[in-house]
Structure 1
Amino acid sequence: MSASGQKLTPETPPEAALRAIAASCRADLAKYREIVLQSRRPIGIHQARVALRRLRAAFSVFRPAVDNPEVRALSAEAKWLAGECGPARDLHVFLTESVTDVPPVVKRVGARLAASHLERARAALGSARYEAFDQRLRAFAGEPVGAEVRGGLRLDEFGRHVLDSRHAKVIRRGRLLDKLSEEQLHRLRIGIKKLRYAATYLSPAFASPAAKPYIEATVRLQGALGALNDRTTAARMLADIATASRPSEDTALPLKVLARQAASGEKRRRRKLERTWKEFRKVERFWRA
């Protein structure tokens, strides 16, 4: 069953599945958009961005079957919105999860920067551009699938092709894991993220008990790769805080301390990555079970 409540089966046309997923993403975005516009609760910006990421991922997963100017335009607008919401979410995660014992001066600058980022997100989510995007997305999600589509490609057939391709790409990118550069690890992280979304969206077509452990393995591997990427994210956040600091706010030393903290644990993160990679390699491909 899709997140929208529509039951997906092996016979479901890929286009119908995409429209159902788009409807679910739109509903989630509308829900959390209201929280962003009316409060400072972090869940609003976090989940609004998740909804946009899910939507963009769905367009990517189903692109081999559903690719037209309207889909590309909707994907581009979702990317723009996610970019406007991203800085607020990234800063909050950094200050509350990536580092601890944040010095008062950094908290003060961070709070000021967070307020600016929140206003940027609110401006985008409250804009006429957003309203136009929402109307187009509603029309896309609600458009009925024609008879010629219903009698065509099935979701299980489509799913095997997509999952085979994305799984193979991850395996190729992960070869010689211990020798991969930072850029290669980033590409592997993007690959596993795309595979995770594909597996999540397409698993209803197979009704296999192997789907859950496979998806869980992709989640763990993505998390391990994300932890290795924390240093890059931290460097960007620290640079933003330094730029936002006023002359009277001496943040140089506190930021150096936080930079060392964010970069610590590299060996531990590498070991976790190696472990999760081995687990992923062993898990059964549910679409071929």
Structure 2
Amino acid sequence: MNKKDKFKDFPALYRNNNSQEILPRIIVKKDTAIHGMQILMRNEICDFRLNFKEFIQNKDPEMLHQLRVSLRRLRCAMGFLKKISPSHELDELMQIAKNIGSVLGPVRELDVLREFITSKVLSEPNNLDTFESLLNYLDRLREEEFLKTLPKLNNVIEGTFCNNIKYLSLNDYQNIFLDNKNPSILEFSKNILEKLHKKSLSTKRDLNVLTDKEKHELRILLKKLRYATEFFGNFFGHKKAKKFITIICKLQDLLGSKNDSLATKRLLSKIESFSGVNISESSRIVQDYSDRVCLNLESELLSTWKCFKKAQLYWN
């Protein structure tokens, strides 16, 4: 097995990058926590900058999705860095990164709705003419949202944000550990994984009685646990970590489908109220289909949640 294949499930541990950006390096478990986080930040910053450049050149939905994923990974890495070397500057950058995500959100919601209609709803024998007005309006609305979004992105990304995040990977982070101890990245990552896993299981109620807000918060925790596994999982055994991440991804996707359904209803309701376009019939069909999808996913969601709770903790 070559190096690329070995690390393909853990993108933070391998980058095939021929650009002029800072060259990434594999994190090894003998690295100190501080040195390991320097490498991780270098990798994620590089990945984010490359995704942003590709997004500007090709503004299609998939590029937007990849940009948002790389931004979430970068924010997650920043959160881990804060545990080692907290600073006011880092807090400011984390807030800017959060704001960038908020700016991209409305366009992504439109993309998700359009994709749901074209790939799911229209796979059934529905009349395409019924959806023509809605699809045309979504395309027009996306263009309008994008025109509002791009200047905000350019101001932030090409301004202080991208310049400053580069220094996060170059700084000699101040050692804040007690007794001047700097644990290995292996110890540090194990502690992160343990805390995230424990927090994700902190609810004492069944998944099916959680509120929509609680499910959304659980999904965010699962994303962090997934990224932590992608960042550090290979330290503890590739096969075990891969099995664990498969369960997380499935659970995260199922919760995401539930969340997308709620977002779809909100967006359709907003469009009906303010667009002046008659979409009542197409909106009803989409919402009915979305409700059926969520209902069908319920049993799979509960069974996957049980698998997650019983999953072997690969870092132990």
Bin of the TM-score, shorter chain as denominator length: 0.7 to 0.9
Alignment of 1:1-289 (within 5 A): 2-4=13-15, 5-97=24-116, 99-101=120-122, 103-127=131-155, 130-144=158-172, 152-173=182-203, 175-246=205-276, 249-288=277-316
* 8 A contact 2:272–2:278 mirrored in 1: no
Q: Deviations along 1:111-147, whole A, 9 cap, x unmatched?
A: 1111022223321222266421000011222334579
Structure 1 counterpart of 2:137, one-letter code: V
2:29 and 2:198 map into 1 onto residues whose CA distance is: 22
Name the CA shift for 1:112/1:243 in 2 (closer, same or farther; >3 Å).
farther
Query: How far apart, CA to CA, are the structure 1 residues paired with 2:309 and 2:220?
Result: 17
CA drift of 1:90 comes to 2.0
Is the Cα–Cα contact under 8 Å of residues 28 and 36 in structure 2 kept in the other structure?
A: no
Instruction: Extract structure 1 runs of 4+ deviating beyond 4 A.
Output: 144-151
Provide closer, same or farther for how the CA distance between residues 279 and 228 of structure 1 changes in structure 2, counting only shifts above 3 A: same
Q: What SS does the aligned partner of 1:210 have?
A: helix
Give the stretch that moved more between structures: 149-158 or 159-168.
149-158
User: Root-mean-square deviation (CA), in Å?
Assistant: 2.5
Paired with 1:232 and 1:186, the residues of 2 have a C-alpha distance of: 11
CA deviation map 1:76-119 (0-9, x unaligned): 11111111112112211221136523701101110111102222
Output one character per residue of 1:28-87: Cα deviation in whole Å (capped at 9) or x when no partner.
332232333334322321111111111111122343223211221111111111111121
In structure 2, relative to structure 1, the CA distance for the partners of 1:40 and 1:164 (3 Å cut) is: closer
- Scaled by the length of structure 2, the TM-score of the pair is 0.81
Percentage of pairs with the same residue = 23
Moved more, 97-106 or 63-72: 97-106
Q: Distance in 1 between matches of 2:40 and 2:301?
A: 31
Distance 2:265 2:302 in 1: 24
CA–CA distance in structure 1, aligned partners of residues 246 and 146 of structure 2: 32
Q: CA deviation at 1:225?
A: 1.3
- For 2:6, the equivalent position in structure 1 comes to none
Q: Who is 2:21 aligned against?
A: none
Which shows bigger deviation, 75-84 or 227-236?
A: 227-236
Amino acid at match of 1:59: M
CA contact (8 A) 1:26 1:138 kept: yes
Q: Is contact 1:21-1:58 (8 Å) kept? A: yes
Letter in 2 for 1:84: V
Equivalent AA in structure 2 for residue 284 of structure 1: Q
**Does the 8 Å CA contact 2:14/2:26 hold for their aligned counterparts?**
no
Comparing 179-188 with 271-280, greater Cα deviation is found at: 179-188
Q: Aligned equivalents of 2:145 and 2:261: distance in 1?
A: 21
1:73 counterpart SS class:
helix
TM-score, scaled to structure 1: 0.88
- Distance (whole Å) between structure 2 residues aligned to residue 22 and residue 119 of structure 1: 31
Which stretch shifts more, 133-142 or 5-14? 5-14
